[in-house]
Each structure stands twice: as C-alpha cells, then as structure tokens.
Structure 1
Amino acid sequence: MNKKLYLPLLLAFMVAFVGCKKMGALSPDYFTVTPNPLEVIGGEVPATITGNFPEKYFKKKATVTVTPYLVYEGGETAGTSYTYQGEKVVGNNQTISYKMGGNITMKTTFKYIPAMRKSDLYLDFTVKSGSKSYQLPRVKVAEGVISTAEICDPNALTPALAADKFQRIIKENYQADIMFLIQQANLRSSELNSNQMKDYQNNVKAAAEAPNKKITGVNISSYASPDGGMELNTKLAQAREDNTTKYLKQQMKKDAVNADLTGEFTAEDWEGFKELVEKSNIQDKDLILRVLSMYKDPEQREREIKNMSSTFKILAEEILPKLRYSRITASIDVIGKSDAEISKLAASDPKSLSVDELLYAATLTNSLSEKESIYKKATEIYPNDYRGYNNVGLICFEKGDINAAENWFNKANKIAPNTPEVQMNLGLIELTKDEFAKAEQAFGKSAGSEGLNEALGVLYLQRGEYAKAARAFGDAKSNNAALAQILTKDYNKAKNTLAGVSEPNATTYYLMAVIGARTNNEKAVTDNLNKAIKLDSNMAKQAATDLEFAKYDISSIAK
C-alpha cells in the first residue's frame, strides 16, 4: 500500500476506535441512598438515590438508562427507571456534560415482600450509542431492608361486640294520684275508688306476691296549689300527706304489702304550676312565666298573678285544681334470672330466653366454641336481630377465620345497615386485605364503637402515618400501640406500653428486643429474643435476618 495513503487510514481507524470506546464501570462511591439501610413504610420500600457521573465520562452521543433493582433470594424487583443523555443527543432527558459530568437524583419505591428483608439494592445501566447498546456492570448501592413496621398486626385487633341489654334488676314504678278540692284535705271515695287507684293497688299487690319482684319503697308526695297564703297552704299540704299516709298504711296491711312508707309535702307547688302553664294554651302564658321568673317571693308572685284578673280566672279553672293532690309512688325491683339459670337454659331450652338473656349467656363462658354456639342459636331464634350475626363474626375473627367473619358481618349489616359496631368490624376486614380506603370509610361510620381508636391506629400504621397512629392509640396497652411509639422513636413510652400488655406474647418480647437494640441495651436484646423464640420458634428465623439486630451477635439465639 502507498505510504501516503496508509497513514491517513491508520489515523481514521484510531479516531473511530477511540470514538467507539465503551463507557466504563462506575464505582459505588458515586452514589448515595437514603435511607440506608432501606425501610418499609406503609407496605412499600421507598428509596432516594443521588449520584453523579464523573468528569469526562459520559459520552456525548450516548444515552444511559439507570434502573434500580432490589435483589433477594429467589428473585429481584425493578424500580423506576431514569434515562440520561449526552450533549449531542436530541431528546427530553436530563443532559450530562462530558467535560463536567453531572449530578442525578432518582426516587423509587418497591412493593414490599418478606424476602426483601435480606436484600441488596443495585443500579443497572443500559448504554445506547447510535445503533449499539450494551450493559455496564451493576453497582451495589445499599444493603438490606428494615421491616419493623410490618410487625403491625390487624388480626390482633378485637372486633366490636354488639352488646346485650340484659339487666338483672329492672326498676319499675307504679303511680296513682288522689285529687283534693280547694282548701280541703279529706279523702273522697270517688278518688279512692278511681280506676287509677284500683290499678295501682292491684299492681302493688301482685308485685308483693310475685317471687321475682320486690317492693323497695312506697312514697307519698302531697301538694297545695299556690293560690293561698303560705301558712294556710303548709297546713293544707301536711294534712293531705297525713290523711293519705294513714289510708295507705291500712290498705298495705290489708293487701299484705310489706314495704317502707315515706312521705313529704310541698306547701306551694310553683314548679308544678310553671310546668302546667308551659304546656297549656293560655293566651297570656308568656306573661305569667315572666312574672314567675321576676319574683322570687312566693306571696309576691301570687299577688302579681291575681292582679291579672281575667287570666287568673283561667288559671283557677284550668291549672290550679291540678296542683291539689297526693301522688303515691311504689318502687319495684323486677329481679331477672340468675347467671346459673341463664347458662342452663341457654344449653337446654334457649327459646325460653329473651334475645338479651341469650346474648348475655354467651358472656358467662370463656370458651370461644360455646360463645359461638350461643350466638348462632340467637341468629336462629331471633333472625331479625343483627347482634347475633355480628357476634358470631367476632368469634370467627378471633379464631383467625377472616373469610367466615366477613360473611357473618355482612349478614349483620344487611339486617342493620350502618350500625357503628358492624361498620367497624367490616373496616377491620378491609384492614386485613390492605384495603385502606375502604377501611377508613367504614371507620367513619363507626363513631362510639369500642376499639375504634385502636383500629384507626392500625390503619395509620399500615399507611405509614406513624405520628397519627401514635395519637390514635393514646394510652392503649397493645403490641400495635407500642410499635407506633417505636416508629416515632418514643422508646420509653413504648417500653411502658409493652409492660402493660395484659397477655404478652412472642411479638411483645420481640418488640422489647427491638427497643433494646435501638437503645444499645444488648442484654435487653438477648433476654427478650430468648423469650420471644421460646413462645414462637418462627421468631428465630425472623431475628436472624432482621437488620435491627445487625450489630449484635445473636447467632446462638436465632438458630
């Protein structure tokens, strides 16, 4: 070949070779991940990756697509890809200078799965230059995922009970009024033989004879109308009380009614007067009521009202006669079945019990199977009462049968839509499915339900709103409440919460170990992990891959 031609060709080949030289591997030192290690928040693993391409690195005609990968045993999950371009590339991606290099920021999120606890975050680089593309070596930028938030357990919540209204003792009152003529205190036969008095005497006599009723007392309250002098009215009201008491003592003896008899009298019944005026259709009643409020002295009140001559005539005919009476009130305790009787009948003859007695029977046993059986009987005997269905669902939830629980709660909701306790329980079902929006909607209809605050606390935990969760739990003593406090770094309160858990389990001690790790208390770590694993051997595997304990040697415990 002619030497004159050879030299230019050689130079052209060298330029082409240099121009096609691939971009080299990148060092992990160019990248930073926040947080590191990664952490589960609201069921996801978020990461912010910052980094830079060094000077004289990024080829002017190249585009680089960077994809984060969380790599774990058995698989990997890709995050959001970002594309960057060289200075001579026409496009809308961030341009990186060849001479100066450039800084980048990437935000990505991975849907959490348990395998990610032991994982590595890598960056994958795909370079395209012209029609050619190639891969750069992956770069490891972070290691492991803290999954403490995943300890949150909606299944540990207690559904709302649709309570019975059973009362062992029901209070009853029987009443009768004996009316008097103006300025008289004698008992008239027409009053003593009135239908009201006959009903009163029959009811009291029946109560005295009934084995499940007890007369706790009989009271006589006698009154005079406020249209006479105070001295006269005092004597008159007292005489009415004395005469009524004397008569009633004889009647109680005759009917074999044994009960304490008490009495009192009111000389001028201004309160009764005011009440009757308020309920009346008297044209000037507002004026009368103003007079009552203006004057505190009863005699002055009386004078002012009598000055309204036409109005006073109406009062004398329609209101005042109703204030001359003795009211007799018998107080009765109706005593219900004993616990032993109710339990026996629930097993042998449930149809003989009222719905409230049957629901109450379920509270008399600690056996979940017995409770479930009683509540199912309630649904069969009283199919239109939602409480039996709701409470069967509660038992299924506590037994871990979430599908059955949902079925029973839906039956309760069909009978009594939007009932607070049923709505709360349906919200719990949605929590177990990670259907947070539906759960929140149901909880919004659950005002006043027992356990609602804890349910809201779990909802906020699962959404990653830890401060709101801690406020919702308040002073609740549960594992979930303590977890919220740990995640908000209130370790002293979390420790006190766990100490107050009524029935500590493996999770209780595991959380105590987490607190120990976060407060540099190695003894608390080992002691509590030992307790947790003793109660649940699966905790050993969990602890072995838990980054909370990364700086502690727990190899002898977590086997």
Structure 2
Amino acid sequence: MKKTRLAFGILFGSLLMSGCALNKMIKLANDQQLEVTPNPLELHADKVEFEMSAILPPKMLPGGTSYSLKTFYQYGTNEAELGTVEFKAGDFPNSSSTTSRKSQTFSFAYDPAMAKGDVMIQGVAAKGAKNKTTEKMKVAEGVITTSLMVEDIVAASYADHGYNDKEELEPTNVEFFFEQGRSVLRTSEKNSDRGKDFTAFVADRNVTRTVTITGTHSPEGTETINSDLSQDRAEAIEKWYRDMMAKYDYKGMADEIKFVLKPVVQDWTQFKTMLNGFDGVSSDEKTAMLAVVNGTGTFEEKEKALQKLSGYKKVFDKIYPVLRTAKTEVLTVKVKRPNPEIAVLAKQIGEGGISADSLSNAELLFGATLTPSLTEKEAIYKAAIKKQDTWVAHNNLGAVYLQMAAAASGADVKKNVDLALTQLEIANKQKANTPEVLVNMATVYMLQGDNTKAYDVAGTVSGATGDALRKLNTLKGTLEVKTAQYDKALMSFAGADNSAEVSFNRGLALVLKKEFSNAKTAFKDATDKDSSYAKAFYGLAIVGARTSNATEVTNGLKSAIAEDSSLKEKALTDLEFRNYADAVRSL
C-alpha cells in the first residue's frame, strides 16, 4: 500500500513538474520573436511563398520538451494549414542560456478569395503526451496581388499577304546590231521585229525610271581604231529613244528618265562567254583561242594572234557580229491598282457585291489590311478562303478573331477564341508549324487560361522573323511574367512590339523583381506612348509606395483615377498602399 502511494506520488509530482514546465514555456512564448518575409505576402505566378523566422528566448526549451509553431492562412471563414516550425530541446543543447533560432519556407496555392486574410500561428508546448497551446496570433497581413495586373497582350500574328504595294520596276531588254566599224543605227534594225516591238513599247508611254544602254565592239583591228565606237553606238540608241519620246508626247515625263550609257571597250568577257557556248569550232580550237585571250599582250596583239588560229573565220562570221551591239535595258514602273481602289474592291468582294475575281488573291489578302474594321477584315478573309483556300487566309482570319476576343467581354470572348482556334487548326493542317500560326495558337491557349500549354507551344516556334518574331517575343514575355520568370520576360520584351502594353508588362516585371528605378522608367515609357493608360499611372504609384515616396503615390493615383475611376476602389483595398490609406481616401 505504501509502495502504491509512493508511485502515485512520484507520478503526480512528475505530472505537476511537467505541467509547470509547459506553463513556463507558454509564458515565455510571449517573448518569442517571429518575422515573416515578405509581409504582406506576395503572389508570384499562381502561388504565395514566404519565409518565417522564429527566435525563442533562453530557457524556453527545457530538457525533453518541444515547441511547435503551427502556421495557418486565415481568410474569411476559411483556414488553410500551411505547416509547422518545430523546435526540439535535443536540437538546441544550449537553449538554457541562449536563444534558439529557426527559419522555414512556406507556400500555398493562391485562390482569389485569399487576397484578404492573415498568416496566423499557434504555439504548442509539449512534453511527452502533454501539451499546452498559446492563443492564435497574427504574424502577417494578406496578399499583395500586383502580379495579376499583367496585361494579356493579344499578339495577333498576320501572315504575309504576298502583295507588294511599293513601286516595282520591270526590265525590258532589246539588242540592236551595228555594221563593222560603224555606229549608225540602220533602218533595217529599226524596222526589225525587235525594233517594232521596242517602238510600240515606247509609244505606250510607260512610266520609266532608267534607260541603260551598253555599247560594245568586236575585237578586230578596224573596231579598235575608233576608241569612241562603243560610246557612239550607245549614243545612237539614246538619240533614237529621245526622238521617239518627242514623237509620242512624253513632255515632262522625259525629264524624269535617267539615261545611263555604258561603253565597253577592249573587253574579252562577252567574247569568252559566247565562245564557250559556240559549237562551230572544236574544243581544241576553243582551248587555243582562250589561251590567247587569257594570255599576255595588248588587246590588238591578242586579236592578231587569234587571226592565225584554226577556226578564226567561223568565229569572225558568227560571234564577232553579235558583239557589235548596243544592249538596251529599260526599267519601267510596274502598273498596279492604287491602294484605295484595292480597299474598295476588297470590301465589295467581302460583302458579296462583286466577283472575287475582281482582285488577285494577293490583292484581296492585302485589301484586308487596308481597313481598320475587324468586321470588314473578317468578311474579306472569308471571301479569300472561298476564292483560294490557303493557310494564310485561315491564319489571318484566326488573328482577326483573336483581336475581336481582345475587344470583347463576357461570353463573346470565349466565342471569338473558339472561332480563332478553329481557323488556326485548319491553317496548321494545311501548313504545319508556321511561326504565325503557332504564335496565334499559343495566344489562344493563354486566353483560355492554360499558360503552361501556351508557353510550351510558343517554345516550339522556329524561324520567326520580322513581325512574327516581335509577336512571339511579346507573347513569351507576357507568359513569363505570368509564370514569375521575370529575367526571361525582360529578355523577351527586348525584342517585342514597341507598344505601351509591352512597356507596362516590362515595368511590372521590374517591380516584381524589385528594380524600382527601371520599373519607373518603363511605366513612364508606357504613359508616353499612351497618355490615357490608367494602369501605367497606377504602376507609377506602386513604385512610389515601394520606395516610400508619398508624392509619387499621390500623383500616380490621381492620374490613374482620372482615366479610370474604378481604380480608386482598387487602391483602397490594395495592400501596396496600406501606409497611404488616408491619402488614397482623399483622392
């Protein structure tokens, strides 16, 4: 009986001592130091991550005890358990005389309902099976959701229509032949088929930019005696051309035509070219002649040496006459419809008012670019698909639907996104993996909320150049901000469209990586490009708040609210401005 009482007394004493130790731990918990970084929490990509460091005072971890910090995120009537920071006395042998420190990283998937909430902790002192808890305590406030401000830039990529509306020059070439040693353009040459065609060409009064006349001579001695022969032959063609312009009433048009005379004197190039293609002499005879031409000596000496070779008579009769020419190249302006005419015809074709054959396919596709109306573009591209079913027309129709989605709201957004995807899938089937189609398909997935798939598709694009490359970089940069790849985003934006939206997203990436000076520059660039860009002014206010500049906060919010009054309500609940609540309310 005495032994039972003794055992009970020991147990009771042990429990009493244990209870006293736990009570002391709970009391000392009032002196614990807890720090959450960042505070408030920040959303990056689709999760919230923070670090909590805890410092326990000396004597808070008696032997055989443990102390845990249960961590929660409390929002509305909901509470999400995040994890526990646990201190075990055995891990801190000097805890009786020194502080005990520990840090731990927590993260949780973000839900929009979590924007307003608090990080809470509850301490639990334990020894064996017994434990005591502290009251729940707030250690951090809410979530800053600035990253959600990223603009979903719809980088609609249009494929090239294949039409060149710039001035193009078309060459017309004709050769006239001269008698040996003479520069007179014979009547027989003017009346030849070549001469008649050339006369008719000049009579059409084509808009002409240049007339290049290359006068040549054959190698024989009588030709080289007159060093001006090539020049004279070129001038003979020029005179005839000018006489015809006067006859056909060119008037001021003649002054705009540049004549270029190019006399070729003592040059074997054309001779060698014609000899190589001449089958009137044997290969051995050609070799011997080329050896002379490519050898040493003056032009006259080489020609005299040729006269001594077998086959010279045939060359003299067949090749030399062709070298006594004046070659004329006329560059005239290609006749095209004026752009306004193409625009009107394309619209009429889209409306079904005239036949699609009124324009070429390239002209019709180009006509779609001449109207700012997305509805008219849609009709024209549909007509182009009926006229000639190409991947370009399907892709560009898909791009139109993307732009319509960007301008729409409610159910119309999904409707246009779905229409875009249908066209893009057809385009990709007709010609797989073109940069424009893939960029547009990735944009569709972004608008559908699947950023991972959008980024994967964008990553498969190869060979993009020009506008398609800029659109690709715009899309990638936007997705990289959304997925918290801020350094990559800045690299992408360096080669993206030069738009206010791109400047804004660049500024946002810089804010989120805490480069506030550069962020300020980017937001100002956005407002310079679009003076009514409310979100960019709001971004400047955020920079002001993060750099403790009250003036910039006030000025930025004033400008933002002036352009979009709904931003005042946002600012009132935005933790970015938690230290400027009175200033925000006064705006």
Query: With structure 1 as the length reference, what TM-score do the two structures score?
Result: 0.78
- Secondary structure in structure 2 of the residue aligned to 1:15: helix
Superposition map of 1:255-334 within 5 A:
260=254, 262=259, 264-268=261-265, 270=267, 273=270, 276=273, 323-334=323-334
Partner of 2:480: 460
The CA deviation at 1:19 is 3.7
Superposition map of 1:178-193 within 5 A:
178-180=176-178, 183-187=181-185
The CA deviation at 1:276 is 4.1
1:232 paired with 2:235, answer no
Q: Aligned partners of 2:583 and 2:36: how far apart in 1?
A: 28
1:159 paired with 2:156, answer yes
Q: Is the 8 A contact 1:27 1:139 kept in 2?
A: no
Query: Unaligned 5+ residue runs, structure 2?
Result: 351-355
Supply the AA of the counterpart residue of 1:264.
Answer: L
Superposition map of 1:18-37 within 5 A:
18-19=17-18, 22=22, 24-25=25-26, 26-27=29-30, 29-37=32-40
Q: Structure 1 residues 267, 98: CA separation in 2 closer, same or farther (over 3 Å shift)?
A: closer
Which moves more between the two structures, 253-262 or 378-387?
253-262
The C-alpha deviation readout for 1:79-122, integer Å capped at 9, x for no partner, is: 455666554xxxxxxx4548457432212223334444333223
Q: Aligned partners of 1:69 and 1:75: how far apart in 2?
A: 10
The C-alpha deviation readout for 1:423-453, integer Å capped at 9, x for no partner, is: 3333333444322641541455534323344
Q: Structure 1 residues 328, 11: CA separation in 2 closer, same or farther (over 3 Å shift)?
A: same
The C-alpha deviation readout for 1:289-347, integer Å capped at 9, x for no partner, is: 9x98x99xxx8577679879979979967987664421223332234333443333223
Q: Aligned partners of 2:62 and 2:94: how far apart in 1?
A: 6
Q: Structure 1 residues 532, 302: CA separation in 2 closer, same or farther (over 3 Å shift)?
A: farther
- Secondary structure in structure 1 of the residue aligned to 2:581: coil
The CA deviation at 1:386 is 1.5
Q: Structure 1 residues 149, 230: CA separation in 2 closer, same or farther (over 3 Å shift)?
A: farther
- What is the number of residues matched between the two proteins? 539
Supply the AA of the counterpart residue of 1:224.
Answer: H
Q: Aligned partners of 2:43 and 2:313: how far apart in 1?
A: 80
1:484 paired with 2:509, answer yes
Partner of 2:234: 241
The C-alpha deviation readout for 1:183-204, integer Å capped at 9, x for no partner, is: 4445567765666555545555
Q: Structure 1 residues 427, 179: CA separation in 2 closer, same or farther (over 3 Å shift)?
A: farther
- Secondary structure in structure 2 of the residue aligned to 1:553: helix
Pick from 522, 527, 531: which aligns with 1:494?
522
Partner of 1:365: 371
- The structure in which a higher percent of residues are helix is 2
Q: Structure 1 residues 442, 407: CA separation in 2 closer, same or farther (over 3 Å shift)?
A: farther
Q: Is the 8 A contact 1:512 1:525 kept in 2?
A: yes
Partner of 2:456: 438
Supply the AA of the counterpart residue of 2:425.
Answer: N
Partner of 2:384: 378
The CA deviation at 1:516 is 3.0
Q: Is the 8 A contact 1:60 1:98 kept in 2?
A: no
Q: Is the 8 A contact 2:532 2:563 kept in 1?
A: no
Query: Unaligned 5+ residue runs, structure 1?
Result: 88-94
| Identity over aligned pairs, percent | 25
Partner of 2:119: 121
Q: Aligned partners of 2:7 and 2:290: how far apart in 1?
A: 123
Q: Is the 8 A contact 2:169 2:334 kept in 1?
A: yes
Q: Aligned partners of 1:141 and 1:319: how far apart in 2?
A: 99
The CA deviation at 1:266 is 0.9
1:337 paired with 2:337, answer yes
Q: Aligned partners of 2:156 and 2:478: how far apart in 1?
A: 13
What's the C-alpha RMSD, in Å, of the aligned pairs?
4.5
Q: Aligned partners of 2:139 and 2:436: how far apart in 1?
A: 49
- Secondary structure in structure 2 of the residue aligned to 1:159: coil
Partner of 1:417: 432
Query: With structure 2 as the length reference, what TM-score do the two structures score?
Result: 0.75
The CA deviation at 1:268 is 1.9
Q: Structure 1 residues 222, 15: CA separation in 2 closer, same or farther (over 3 Å shift)?
A: same
Q: Aligned partners of 2:392 and 2:76: how far apart in 1?
A: 49
Partner of 1:522: 550
Q: Is the 8 A contact 1:32 1:51 kept in 2?
A: yes
The C-alpha deviation readout for 1:515-559, integer Å capped at 9, x for no partner, is: 332344434423432443344344233212222212113476489
- Secondary structure in structure 1 of the residue aligned to 2:213: strand
